[in-house]
Structure formats: C-alpha cells, structure tokens
Amino acid sequence: MSAEIAYSHTPTDGFHTQTSTLQEATEKLIRTHIPPGGTSQVELQKRYHFEFLLRNLRQGFPERYTSQDASQPWLIYWTLHGFSLLGAGLDDLTKKRTIETLLALQHPEGGFAGGPGQAAHLLPTYAAVCAFAIVGRPGPGGGWESIDRQKMYKFFMSLKQPDGSFLVSHHGEVDVRGIYCLLVVATLLNLLTPELLAGVPDFLATCQTYEGGFGNASFPGWAFEADDPESEKPSNASFDPTAPRPPLGEAHGGYTFCATASWVILQSYIEHYYARPDVSSATSLPIRPEINTRGLLRWCTQMQGLPIELGGFRGRTNKLVDGCYSWWVGGCVVLVEALLGVGVLHDSPTEGQGGEEEGPKAWDDVDDSLFDRKALQEYILCAGQHPAGGLRDKPPKPADAYHTLYCAAGLSAAQHRVVPSDARRHAVISAWDPVQARAHDGTGVVSAASDAEREKLDVLRRETCAHVLSWTEEEGTALYVGGSANRVNATHPVFNLTVTHSDAMMAYFYGQSLPSRLPSRPKA
C-alpha cells in the first residue's frame, strides 16, 4: 500500500461544507506531525510532562484556569493521577497538604463541593474520593477516616429521582456522568444498597441512542404526562419504567464511557435483583433491562480516526479527533469487550486434564483488542504531546491538566490489556469476609433491613467487589510504540485509578484482606 493511499483524506463526495473543510485542514495539520522516519522511534517526553504537572502543583494554575473554580477537586485528581501514570511518587508533605485541601471541600451535609463554600456535587465528589485513593491512607491524618460516609449516602439518596436517575446536585440536572461518579464512589466506599441502585439500570438503558452510544439522559415518561392536559393519569401516579423515554441528545464519548462503566458496575445488581425475560412470569422481580452491546461496540470502534488522523478518537459522529477521547472512547472499548466476554482471562484447566488446551483458555495469550492500539498510541505520541510539556487535544492547541490526564490514560489503555480474570475473582470471593464487609458498611441503614435482605446485600457487595477487583493486566500483551521507555502505568478501566490505589481503598472500607496480586514464588 502506498503512502498516499494510506494517508488519503476523508471522502466528501465532492460536496464541501464548513465541517468537511475543517476536517481536511485538521487532517493536513496532523499529517505534518508524523515523523519522517515513521513512529518506531517516537518518544514520550515524560520529563516535560512531569515538569508540566509539577508546575501546576507547586506554582498554581495559570489565570486561564479561573473558569475551573468549581472544579478544584478535578484539578487535584487530574494532576495526582497524571503523576501515578507517569510513575512519579508523591512526598509526604504533598500528600498531607492535599488531604487538608480535600477535607476543606467536604460539604457539612455530605459529599464534596467543587470549591470552598460551594454546593456539594456528584462530579467533584468522585474527583475528591479518587484523589483520596491516591494520597490517603488508614489511620490518623490519612484522610480516609475523615470521609463522612453516612452523610454522603444521605446526600446521594436526596438526589435520587423516580425514574432511577440522580440529579448531579440539589436543583441540578440529571446526567449519566453523575450516575457514574456516584456508583464509583459508592463502590469504593462500601455504600452500595438496593435502594440506592433501584431503577438505575432501567434509566441507563433508555439513554442509549440509535447510533449505539449513549446520550446524557432521557426524557422521563412522567415529565410528558405532567405536561399533557389530556392525560388520564393523576399527577401523583407512580412511575412506570415501561413508559417510552427517548434519549436526550446525541451519542457522545464522555456520556458513553460513563454509562458503560456504570453498566459494568451494576452487573451483579442486575443479576440478583432482576429477572430474565424467560423466567419473569415465575417471579415478582422486575424484568431485566438490556442494552445493545454490539451496537455500542460498533459506535465506539467507528469513532477511531483514519490513518491520516493517526488513529485518534473523536467524541461524536462527524466531529474532529481529540486526545481526551483516547480514554473516553478508547477506554470504553475495553469495557465493552468485557461485557462481550472478549479477552476475559479464564480459569486454568483442572489437574488431570491432559493434552493441548481447548476452548477460551487456549486463546488467552492472543491480543484480541477491538480497537487499533498501535494507531492510538501514535496519535498521542505524535499529535498529543505539547513541545513545552503536557498533553493536548490536538495541534496547535495548548496543553492543559484535563487533556494531560486523559491522553495519558488513553495511552495506558492502548499499551496494557487490563481485563477481568476469573482466577482473581474467585480468589477474592474465597478470601471474602462478609461479617467484616457488613461491619464496615458506611450507609448506616443496613441494620434496619431483615435477615434475608442483609444476606442478599452481602452477596451484592461480594459479587460487585469481586468483579471490579478482578481486573488484571494480561501478561504478554503489552504494546509500546516507540519502545518500552514510553511505558506508562496501567490504570483500572472502570475507576481510572491504578489497581494499587483502588485495591487499597476498597480493602480498607470493606474490612478485607485481599489476596496478593504478585505471583507466588516456587518453593525451594
């Protein structure tokens, strides 16, 4: 294949528009960032990116970040997790100051605010808790014990809507990003309950668009009835989950990642609190909602750009590629693969089974990624790096904290295959202590439940935690464009934290002694 064919422009069918003109100009600009000798020697400028993050941390953010005054926990999280991905540790003083800053943002009525004196909000609550996972620890001064989980749970429940969705804040809007942030925090901090999760899967399923991706929300059926003067139902009628709720807005990378990651977290809840359609008549449980997983995969993979775009991802149909979607869409493909069972590490054969391996296990060493990992790395390394440090949307835009993290996280998703492991899941389940998990419950409402309800909740906790703790880097599948010197650390596909940080936080808040991830050494 010639270079000209490999780098051909997006076809326009001879009809130029403002969109196609901008697309062509972007493709030409990106092409100028392809090294003359190819991408085999391209270098990740780790030192420059580290110095970029360090300047923000030590000297403060530039004036243009004043618009992020309500996103202060996000600025902290983006910076700290950026250090984690680059393999840079934090000194004790930085950790102490970060903990003090985060605690100052904890709202007296639960949750975290985006800045001092501001209202609690689900999105900065996620960022604050993730930052605590990075810098915090058990014990006095470690920050974890100062998180008021009971008030946070009450804050979460105060935002819950009749259709299973959540407002992002009091008097705020409904948004699947808020649901994702809530579910991650509830999972990390041992706040999962059936009343918190009730209706969430039903709502998420209504947010999937005809394209396969997800919009930010859906129109609630009761909203239409309230505005319909001819409706025969009383205004206080109970919510009907079967009522049509069209998606609100087009499919978008950020919304799609958040909805998909939420769906992954909810798998155990769906399994135990919903009935399959074929057995629905024999149980009182609601019918299990479904999403079009293959349509979701198709949408995600179609968002990856052409060779002339260096394989970057766009966030919406007919939009330009953008470095941050390396994570929001590239990382989402990893989640969809897990939902489809692609790449899952299956148990080894039991003793006594001879001959060659057969079935799924025989293919565990095959890289069956459903997006072009090499191409995505080329986009980030060639077009996503700013010469002065930090990562960016695309040239000639400046670097910023947001794009630095999500380009780095996308690079991590392209370098490492982090997938669910059956063996790891079974190891977590075998070591699970339900008494300790119940004793460490942070909601303050479980004691009021019946014995049967508590036992069912024990199963929900165990199965949800075993699943999210089972994600493991698959050996032998690492891919480093430009060589292993460009390696960044692996990040958890659901939480976007290193597994070291997420494991430690969950072990503490569930009172568990998790099995080691290190391979056991053979006895001498």
Catalytic amino acids? 252, 316, 319, 322, 324-325, 393, 400, 403
For residue 85, what are its two tokens? Answer: 């991905």
In angstroms, the CA 498 to CA 501 distance is 5
Burial, 478: exposed, middle or buried (Cβ in 10 Å; 0-12, 13-18, 19+)?
Answer: middle
In angstroms, the CA 60 to CA 107 distance is 24
| CA torsion through residues 406, 493, 507, 113, sign | positive
In angstroms, the CA 164 to CA 161 distance is 6
Q: What angle do CA 429, 435, 439 make, to 5 degrees?
A: 120
| CA torsion through residues 471, 299, 184, 244, sign | negative
For residue 269, what are its two tokens? Answer: 């809840």
For residue 317, what are its two tokens? Answer: 């149909």
- CB contact at 8 A, 383 and 30: yes
In angstroms, the CA 116 to CA 124 distance is 12
In angstroms, the CA 127 to CA 408 distance is 17
Beta strand pairing call for 471-473 and 247-248: unpaired
The partner residues of 473 in beta bridges, in order of sequence, read 418
Find the distance separating the first CA and the last CA of the chain, reported in whole Å: 54
Please count the CA atoms within 13 angstroms of the CA of 523 that sit on its side-chain side.
0
Q: What angle do CA 413, 189, 501 make, to 5 degrees?
A: 40
